[in-house]
Amino acid sequence: MKLLEVKDVTKNYPGTEILSHIELSLAPGESLAILGRSGSGKTTLLNLLAGLDTPDSGEIYFDQKPIHTLKESELAQLRGKHMGFVFQSYRLLEALTALENVCLPLELLEKDHAIQTASDLLAKLGLESKINQFPHRLSGGEQQRVAIARAIVHQPKLIIADEPTGNLDHRTGREVSDLLIESCKKFNIALLVATHDTELANKVEKRVELFDGVLKSV
């Protein structure tokens, strides 16, 4: 059974073909790295897979549901329930504390004991002393760990990570990538990661490379 299936997807921007006839699949709990140079179309592909953009042609299925045909509200529900996101620039809400940021997905799903669950998770990730800090008080590594906590706290089926180590130094990047992969394995979450970082890419099960909009196995 496939969690994510991409069939013959093409995406163009005026005058440029960004993605060409992409075929991709991911099983539950499986991890996949998408490599590629800047401008190769990695982020565009992730936008399509997250339902933030629509393909010009082709089909995308998540958990056997056709993402490309879903309405805006259905897509929002799908992301909230079954997906988690980790960004290069962390994207924590500056107005909320670390704990409140991690609580967000649970709040959205109206889960009980959200604060307890979130604070337990943050403690496991070594952020116990930082739970009431606002993001601007945290280091880059700490912010990314909070972002990972936010991505896994509701135990989604898939985590989409876009250059999760891009803004971090080598050592912190390694710690964060280990944490991300271990967490996914522990909770049986599929991971789709777009990265330049070959060290990170080597840690995941499968790797593909995007080159001029075409996907190749590595």
Partner 1 sequence: MTRFHSVAKWVSLRLIRKHRILAVLVIASLALGIAQRVGIGLMLDSIQNALVHQSKSFLLADIEIRSVDPISPEKLAELKTILPQNSKLQTSVECLSIAVSSSNYKSTLVSLKAVDQGFPFYGQLKLKSGQVYPNATAAISHLQRYPEAWIDPTLKITLGLKEGDIIYLGKIGFLVKGYIAAEPGEGIQGFSFGPRVYVGTSFLQASGLVSEGSRVSHLILIKLPESKNPLQIAQKIRTAWGLSEKSYQWRTPFANAAGGSDIQVTTHMEKAKQWIRLFGDVGQFFSVLSLLMLILSCLAVGTMLRGYSERILPEIGVTHLLGATRAQVAQTLVLILSYFIGLGTVLGLILGCSGFALIQWQFQAYLPTSWLGWWMAKPIVLGAIESLVFAFGFGSLPLILTMTWKPLELANGISDRRVSKRIIMALSGAIIVLIGSFFYIDTLNLKLAFGASVVLALAIGLCIGLAKVCTALSTRFSQQWSFEFQYGFNNLYRFRHHFVWAITSLSIGILCLSMVGIFKSSLLAELQQDRNQVFPDLFLVGIFDHQKDDLTHYFYQWTSKLQLSPVIKARMTHINARRVGNVTTNDEQKNYLLNREQNLSFREQTGEGEKLIAGDWMKGWYQVEASLEEWFAKKLDINLGDTLTFDVQGVTLKAKVTSFRTVKWTTFKPNFFILLSPNALKEAPKEWLGTVSGLSTEELPKIQAQLAEQFPSVTTIPVKESVDKIKRTLNLVFHAVEVLSYLAVISAIATLVSVVMLTLSFRQKDVHTLKILGFSYKAVQQAIAIEFAAIVTLSCVIGGGIGTSVSIWLLLSETNLELHIPIGTLWWVFIGFMSLALAMSFGVARYLYHSKPKL
* Chain residues in the site for partner 1 (CB under 8 A): 43, 46-47, 50, 52-53, 73, 76-81, 83, 85, 87, 91-97, 100, 103-105, 107-108, 115, 134, 150, 160, 162
Task: Kindly tell me which of 27 and 115 has the beta carbon lying closer to partner 1.
Answer: 115
- Taking the complex as a whole, the smallest distance from the CB of residue 15 to partner 1 amounts, in Å, to 19
- Min dist CB 30 to partner 1, Å, is 20
Beta-bridged to residue 10, according to DSSP, are: 57
Q: How far is the CB of 51 from partner 1 (least distance, A)?
A: 9
* CA atoms of 51 and 54, how far apart (whole Å): 7
40, 211 in Cβ contact below 8 A?
Answer: yes
Closer of 49 and 201 to partner 1 (Cβ): 49
Nearer to partner 1 among residue 35 and residue 217 (C-beta): 35
**3 state DSSP class of 206:** strand
Q: Reduce the DSSP state of residue 64 to 3 states and report it.
A: coil
Select 91 or 206, whichever has its Cβ closest to partner 1.
91
CB burial string 165-202: b at 16+ within 10 A, e below: bebbeeebbbbbbebbbebbeeeebbbbbbbebeebbe
Number of Cβ atoms within 10 Å of the Cβ of 133: 16
Taking the least distance from each CB to partner 1, the nearer of 1 and 112 is: 112
Nearest approach, Cβ of 191 to partner 1 (angstroms)? 15
Q: Give least dist CB 158 to partner 1, A.
A: 13
Q: Pull the structure tokens for residue 36.
A: 């590629």
